[in-house]
Chains A and B, each alone.
Chain A
Amino acid sequence: MLFSKRPRTDEFEAAAMPHMNDIYRTASRLLGQGTGADDVVQDVYLQAWKSFDRFEPGTNCRAWLFKILFHSLNHYRRKWLNIRMVRESEELLELAPAAEPSLPEHITDEEMIAALAEVPQDFRAVVLLIDVEEFSYKDAAGILNVPIGTVMSRLSRGRKVLREKLAGVAASYGIGGPCQEGKSA
């Protein structure tokens, strides 16, 4: 029934538009600001609008939009950034710091964003979905189309790498080095 349904603009706007900030932030943090996040977000909303008749009212519109976002991000990277999609291997776990470094007391937003940008992309995506967007492991797994166990391991590694990068900031302030207490001159 190709023409049996009229588009539900008001319904779509009410359900989807309130999530645009979340979609935009995630796209920006995964692509880098000013590198196509606008195009990807626009693509997400047009894709969502075109398939809105398949969206079931009452289900999780936000998770549905994020699923479209990650599909669009992969498409965008392949098309424009000529990036070969290399899945961060499980061995990266070994690269993550074994010790738990200290966190600087005062971190600026810019420092946090810069540190996040250095977290490998697969890990960063999970950290953003769970820690910033507060999706459950199950929803994040559905959005990324990976098992829950993968979400858990990527989250753990992502948080560790982020912390390590921030510890670098702390070290530059002279915080978190070897304990000097009790040493005499």
Chain B
Amino acid sequence: MNRIEFGQGGCETTRKYLDSYISNELLVETNHEILRHVESCSACAAELETRTRLRARLKSAVNGQNVPPELQVRIREQIRRSESGWAGFAWLHAGWPRWAGAMAAAVVVLGFGLWVTLPGERMPALTDRPAQNAYIQRISTSLAAVLKVGLGDHIHCSIFRKYPKNPPAPEKMESDLGPAYKGLLPVVRAAVPDDYQVVMAHQCSYLGRKFIHLTFEKDGRLLSLVMARKQAGESLEGLAPSVASDGIPIYQSAAGRYRVAGFEAGNFFAYVVSDLKDRSNLQIAAHVAPTVRQFLMNAPV
């Protein structure tokens, strides 16, 4: 920090140190010198105002841009993938012979080299529909078929098709949901924690099936409430429930980094899908289940 003595020629000295003043990089005493000068000099006051305004406008213009959600997803996936690769070597902690450790180290180094050299598994391009479907199929192999329904629409619609940068007005979302389902918006909004912002609400379709879909966002993480009518023979009842909320069994499973919690609501399945931790996803599902079920039970056939 610099202390500057202002004497004669205050304008020249003030202009010289105005940038550091705006960046708050001067000593308090020097700040006072500048303020004292600016109070008595309208030209320097105007210059200070202009420079301050320029800085504020620049900050606001640049901050209008956010990281694309699919990039966040891709990065989180790569980190978790590299973590699970690392965990596979946990046995090396426990006093294996030195040569075995060295050999494993060589394997790690080789594998790491390949990981760096070869292109990683990336999220398919937004326009590559077959690759997207293959991606969804690949990561949901461990999931019961009836839970895949919800996961597929979440990834297809919220991740690949993206939610709008600026969430639409509530009236637009109500219109996109249609008259039969627009009432869901306040019901779900009240059940999801306040710090989740609703960024999309509409009807959509994936693999020939229709969905009612609400997407929430918090700190770059997406959470979907996906609802679809049951098809013949489909039921969640063969699965082991994870929890019950007001007597409604909720079935949760993991697929890759995603958590899918499903429950039945009359003729519908409802799913809460996110990349939150098990407990957080399940808690939100448990919160929304009673009111969503009540709403869907009264939905038109």
Contact = CB atoms under 8 A, between A and B. Distances in A.
A28 interface: yes
B63 interface: yes
A107 B82 contact: no
Contacts of B78: 42, 45-46
Given A107-B57, A132-B58, A152 B20 contact: yes
Contact of A45 (B20, B62, B68, B75): B75
B62 A116 contact: yes
A113 B61 contact: yes
A4 B89 CA distance: 10
Interface residues of B, number: 45
A183 to B, nearest CB: 22
A12 B75 CA distance: 12
A53 B282 CA distance: 31
Given A20-B75, A20-B220, A42-B71, A28 B57 contact: no
Contacts of A6: 86-87, 90
Interface string A9-32: 100110001101101110011000
A156 B19 contact: yes
Interface stretch (A65-73, A75-83, A85-93, A159-167): A159-167
A3 interface: yes
A2 B58 contact: no
Given A102-B50, A103-B54, A155 B65 contact: no
Main secondary structure of the interface of A (DSSP, over half): helix
Q: Which of B47, B55, B60 has the most CB of A within 10 A?
A: B55
A49 interface: yes
Contacts of B57: 107, 112
Given A25-B62, A159-B54, A12 B79 contact: yes
B32 interface: no
Interface string A83-118: 000000000000000001011000101001100100
Given A24-B65, A38-B68, A42-B71, A131 B76 contact: no
A7 B66 contact: no
Contacts, number: 117
A136 interface: yes
Nearest to B51: A159
Interface string A44-78: 01100110000000000000000000000000000
Contacts of A116: 58, 61-62
A46 B19 CA distance: 36
Contacts of B89: 3
Interface of A: 2-4, 6-7, 9, 12-13, 17-18, 20-21, 23-25, 28-29, 33, 38, 41-42, 45-46, 49-50, 100, 102-103, 107, 109, 112-113, 116, 127-128, 130-132, 136-137, 152, 155-156, 159, 162-163, 166
21 contacts: A4-B93, A7-B83, A9-B79, A9-B80, A9-B83, A12-B79, A20-B72, A29-B62, A38-B68, A42-B74, A42-B75, A42-B78, A50-B82, A100-B15, A102-B50, A103-B50, A107-B57, A109-B61, A131-B55, A152-B19, A163-B50
Ranked nearest first, the 10 interchain pairs of A and B with the lowest CB-CB distance are: A112-B61, A24-B67, A109-B61, A3-B92, A132-B62, A7-B83, A45-B75, A131-B55, A20-B67, A156-B19
